[in-house]
Amino acid sequence: MQDTAIVDKIKQMVEDSGINDNEFYRTFKKEPLPLETVKEVFQQYYLYIRTFPQILSGLAPRVDDELIRLKLSRTVVSELGDGRGDPHYVMFEKALAGIGVELEDYRTVEHEPEAEALVASLRRLFLEESPNYAIGAHYVIEEFGFPMIVNLYEGFRLYSGWEHEDYNYFYLHILIEANHVDWIQEALLAAATDDASREELIKGASEVLDALNAFWAGLNRIATRQPVGAL
């Protein structure tokens, strides 16, 4: 596998996984959910987006290549508002507030097992495994990010009471997600130096896809009021 072949390989893995057209997206876009259910669902999603910049920032000291460190750091800075605006998790809080939902403190609330498992997988991949696992996983996270934002936006539009500025979380990500993909793609290509490194990159991509698909299935379980273990 040479040059951009690894990019094509991971893109195909994302496509084949079905994550871009998962059951939760279909449920969320079908009709408005009770706001209490919306709160339950996005309390889990918030754990993911709130902790990911923290986890990602811990990867930068673990890599040797300065280009890779730069690309990782740029993504963290972007996620935290780039020194010019709100961190993205704050923007998401405002999106929820626009439809009348206020989350509990993520540090004290009890989360569902799928959300806990996703964050645990991210901590392992980014902070314990070879950095190549994390770089492959990070590429997946950015690659599926644009379809995720579009699907969530289409669902949020079903609710009443919001003003356009409340949804800056979605508008911003629609504009910048391509930059995130470009940055991590450069890091991915820089990391793919030999067969062993490429194998680790693909392994990380595969493992995070499994965790993410389980996470979205868990959100659909909550949205459709099914008990734990029903899916």
> Which of 192, 182, 184 lies closest to 1 in space, CA to CA?
192
Place of tokens 């289409």: 154
What is the four-CA torsion angle of 106, 108, 110, 111, rounded to 10 degrees? 20
- Return d(Cα 197, Cα 34) in angstroms, integer: 46
* Residue 137 in this model has a pLDDT that exceeds 80: yes
The model's pTM: 0.92
> Which CATH architecture does the domain made up of 5-223 adopt?
Up-down Bundle (1.20)
- Structure token pair of residue 55: 């986890």
Enumerate residues 6+ apart whose C-beta is below 8 A from 32: 158, 159
Mean pLDDT score across all residues of the chain: 92
- Return d(Cα 231, Cα 222) in angstroms, integer: 11
Query: 185: alpha, beta or left, given left = phi > 0 and alpha = psi -120 to 50?
Result: alpha
- Return d(Cα 137, Cα 10) in angstroms, integer: 10
Q: Which pLDDT tens digit goes with each residue over 203-226?
A: 999 999 999 999 999 999 999 986
Report for 63-77, 103-117, 170-184: range of highest mean pLDDT:
103-117
Q: Which residue has the higher pLDDT, 85 or 67?
A: 67
- Return d(Cα 104, Cα 80) in angstroms, integer: 20
* Residue 27 in this model has a pLDDT that exceeds 50: yes
What pLDDT is stored for residue 84 in this prediction? 82
- Return d(Cα 183, Cα 176) in angstroms, integer: 11
Place of tokens 């996270």: 141
> Which of 209, 182, 174 lies closest to 88 in space, CA to CA?
174
What pLDDT is stored for residue 82 in this prediction? 80
Residues 90-100: what's their mean pLDDT?
96
CB atoms within 10 A of CB 150: 16
Q: Which pLDDT tens digit goes with each residue over 46-83?
A: 999 999 999 999 999 999 999 999 999 988 998 888 87
What pLDDT is stored for residue 2 in this prediction? 46
Residue 64: exposure state from Cβ atoms within 10 A (0-12, 13-18, ≥19): exposed
Position 1 confidence tier, pLDDT thresholds 50, 70, 90: very low
Residue 129 to residues 22, 90, 222, Cα–Cα distance (Å) = 28, 30, 31
- Return d(Cα 114, Cα 228) in angstroms, integer: 9
Residues 168-197: what's their mean pLDDT?
87
